[in-house]
Amino acid sequence: MLEAYRQHANERKQLGVPPLPLSAEQTTALTHLLCAPPPPEKKRS
């Protein structure tokens, strides 16, 4: 969801406008992300 959102935000930036407000689907995905357990601390090398 985040990647798609960032891409959308970039496209909108080209047009000189902010991203569209979140849809219900995006908001649902966002709530899942917010509640996801914090990522494991170990560094990936």
Partner 1 sequence: MRPPPPGEEAFLKDLLANQVPPGVDDASRVKAEFLARIAKDQLKCPLIGRKEAVYLLGTMIGGFNIQPLIDLLSDPNLADDAVAALSNTLMIYDAFGRVVALSRDNSFALQVVQNWANGTWFTSRPPMPGEVTVTVFKVEGEINTDDFSPASEAWSRPDIPLHAQSMLMTRAPGSLDVLKGLHAKGHPIAFVGDVVGTGSSRKSAVNSLLWFVGHEIPHVPAKRTGGVVLGSTIAPIFFNTAEDSGMLPIQCDVGGLATGDVITIDTAKGTITRNGTVVTTFTLQPNTLGDEVRAGGRVNLIVGRKLTEQARQALGWGPTDLFVLPDRPPETGKGYSQAQKIVGRAVGKAGVRPGEYCEPKMTTVGSQDTTGPMTRDEIKELACLGFSADLVMQSFCHTAAYPRAVDIKTHATLPDFVTERGGISLAPGDGVIHSWLNRMCLPDTVGTGGDSHTRFPIGISFPAGSGLVAFASATGAMPLVMPESVLVRFKGTMQPGVTLRDLVNAIPWVAIQQGRLTVAKTGKKNMFAGAILEIEGLGDLKVEQAFELADASAERSAAACTVLLNKEPVMEYLRSNITLLQNMINRGYRSVDAIRRRIAAMEAWLAQPELLTPDPDAQYKDILEIDLDTITEPILACPNDPDDVKKLSEVAGTPVDEVFLGSCMTNIGHFRAAGNILEGHAQTDVRLWVVPPTRMDEQQLKDEGVYSIFGKAGARTEVPGCSLCMGNQARVRDNATVVSTSTRNFDNRMGKGAKVFLSSAEVAAVTSLLGRIPTVAEYMSAMNERIMPKMDSTYRYLNFHEIPGYEKRGVVIPIQPT
Name the residues that contact partner 1, by CB under 8 A. 1-2, 5, 15-24, 26-39
Provide, rounded to whole angstroms, the least separation between the CB of residue 32 and partner 1. 6
Closest approach of partner 1 to the CB of residue 21, in Å: 4
At closest approach, how far in Å is the CB of 9 from partner 1? 10
Nearest to 21 by CA among 33, 9, 3: 9
By beta-carbon proximity to partner 1, the closer residue of 23 and 45 is 23
Token look-up 């995006």 returns: 26
